[in-house]
Structure 1
Amino acid sequence: MHIPIIDFSAFLDSTSSDHVKLEVAKNLDQACREVGFFYLSGHGIDPSLFSDMLSNAKQFFTTASTEEKDRIKVRPSGEGTGDDSRGYRVVERADAGYEAVDFLREIETDGPPYTRGLGRNQWPQTPESLRSTAEEYTTHLETLGVAIMKAFALALDVPEETFASRVDQSFWQLRLAAYPGVPEGLDQTKSGLYQHSDFGILTFLLTDDHKGSLKVLAPNGEDWLSADPVPGALICNIGDMLSVWTDGIYKSTQHKVLHTSQDMRISIPFFFDPNWNARIEPVLGNAEKKSKGEGVNYKDVFTGAIKYPY
């Protein structure tokens, strides 16, 4: 399996012809049908912002005190300001482990107490620039996510608004994650994140320069290929919900993290998901399926996928 590099700049250029934009859209379409992963260049984001995001994340994980991390830890919904979703956590499983801090789109709602997913972000104070940098980064990726959904609509020959109207207030999730280094001599097969597919629409992934950590399942269902970082590009993959939306034409690909370096690995996924109240139904496929109203409500999928405690 080859993970293609797609230059998206022409689609973002208002002077590009319809023909050129269609070619870019077709490249995305092919990647989603055949691989489910692609590298995105020509995204219009200054590389310095990538560097700032990575350095801020690393500074938080390496210098924030235990007390600060505890102050912003994820807490159960219905208790105080908790919503099961936002804040710092340490994920420990038999086959994996990492620490992370999560931020999500804030929606106007009554509370506290909050229901699952509908709380308020807990921003660290260390480093001071983390919040402003993350908010700038999020703004860019929200815009980019909408543009890619418009490209998908063009390639699939469906009305642009079919997708765009359901992601214009994307319930995004930004995660800063740190995978600890594995000391020499310890079992290096149990460091990272278990095999999974993402449940949403589209994931933008920014990582440091560690190679060999992100593994993507090949089409034969047996081999694992490394999706190593490409300078200046974002690693992108589609999720289960986009598969539902396209009636299975786009398939989400299983992947995992197997971090074996002795150094900490910083990973920053941005999950670009539908609007909180969006209903996602197949827009392709046979008329019978569409007439039955098959589909999912995004908020139901999200609240079902979040599990507390970790």
Structure 2
Amino acid sequence: MQIPVIDFSAFLDISSSIDTKLETAKKLDKACREVGFFYLSGHGIDPTLFSEMLSNAKQFFATASREEKDEIKVKPSGEKSGDDSRGYRLVTRADAGYEAVDFLRELESEGPPYTKGLGRNQWPRTPASLRSIAEEYTTHLVALGVAIMKAFALALDVPEEIFSSRVDESFWQLRLAAYPGCKKGPDQVKSGLYQHSDFGILTFLLTDEHKGSLKVLAPNGEDWISADPIPGTLICNIGDMLSIWTDGIYKSTQHKVLHVSQDMRISIPFFFDPNWNARIEPVLGNVEKKSKGKGVNYKDIFTGAIKYPY
């Protein structure tokens, strides 16, 4: 299996004909039906912004003191400023090891205390440029996510409004993650992330130059292939929510991280998800199947997936 590289520039070009846009949309459609992963080029984002995101994230994880990390650690909902989801966390498990900082779209809330997921972002003090760079990056990816949803609607021949009305206030999540270098010896801790599929709509992944760490399950359900970074592209995969939305026609593919390099790996996934109050129901497939209540409320899926402590 090969993960396709899709040039999205024609779809973003306002001068492109509908036939040209449809050609690009069909390439996305094919990748989502057959693989569930694709590389996206022609996304319109300045590569300098990619470099700045990676360097800021690396600087934080490599230089921030334990006290600074603890200042912004994830706190349980019910505690002042806690919502189970925003901030720094360190994950050490038998099958996984990494550290991360999570930021999510901020919504109006009754808190503090905050409902799960609906708190306020906790930004690191250093590096000083991290917040402004991350907010600029987020703005670009939200717009890109909306554009890709329009492409999906075109390829699937469904009204654009079905998708666009449920992502116009996307409850996005930006994660800065660091996988520690793998030190040899009897006390070696695994660096990675367990096998899973993403629960949202679409994930945009930016990583550093390390190869062999991200593994994607092939369609045969047995082989694992490496999704190595390609300079200037974003690694994209669809999530369970989009699979539900398309009645299983699009595949949310299992993947995992197993980092074996002795150097730290920086990974920055951006999860483009539905609006907080969106109801997601199948828009394709068997009419009788669609009548059996397969729809889900996004906020229920999100709150069910977020667990504290990690």
Counterpart AA for 2:81? T
1:188 shift after superposition: 7.4
Conserved? CA contact 2:97–2:189, under 8 Å = no
Which residue matches 2:303?
A: 303
Contact kept? 1:189, 1:258, Cα under 8 Å:
no
CA displacement at 1:187 relative to structure 2: 8.0
Structure 2 counterpart of 1:53: 53
Q: What is the deviation of 1:294?
A: 2.2
The list of structure 1 runs, each at least 4 consecutive aligned residues, that deviate by more than 6 angstroms after superposition, is: none
List runs of 5+ in structure 1 lacking aligned partners: none
Q: What is the deviation of 1:287?
A: 1.5
Number of aligned positions between the proteins = 310
1:17 corresponds to which residue?
A: 17
For 1:92 and 1:165, the matched residues in 2 are separated by 39
Please name the residue that 1:123 is paired with.
123
The residue type equivalent to 1:306 in the other structure is I
Higher mean Cα deviation, 188-197 or 51-60?
188-197
Whole-Å separation in 2 of the counterparts to 1:23 and 1:186 = 53
In structure 2, the residue corresponding to 1:24 is in which secondary structure? helix
Alignment deviations for residues 163-183 of structure 1 (CA, whole Å, 9 cap, x no partner): 011001000000000000011
CA RMSD, Structure 1 to Structure 2 (Å): 1.1
* Letter in structure 1 aligned against 2:61: F
The question of 1:42 aligning with 2:47 is answered no
- The amino acid of 2:91's aligned partner reads V
Instruction: Quote the residue 1:99 is aligned against.
Output: 99
Q: Secondary structure at the match of 2:128?
A: coil
Alignment correspondent of 2:182: 182
Percent identity of the aligned residues? 85
Q: Is 1:233–2:233 an aligned residue pair?
A: yes
Task: Tell me how far apart the structure 2 counterparts of residues 88 and 294 of structure 1 sit (CA, whole Å).
Answer: 35
The whole-number CA distance in structure 2 between the counterparts of 1:187 and 1:36 is 36
Provide the TM-score with structure 1 as the length reference: 0.98
Contact 1:188 1:259 in 2 (8 A): no
SS of 1:27 mapped into structure 2: helix
Structure-to-structure mapping, 1:153-192, within 5 angstroms: 153-185=153-185, 190-192=190-192
Following the alignment from structure 2 to structure 1, what is the Cα–Cα distance between the partners of residues 221 and 291?
33
1:283 match:
283
- TM normalised by structure 2 equals 0.98
Show CA shifts across 1:253-289 (max 9, x none).
0000000000000000000000000000000012223
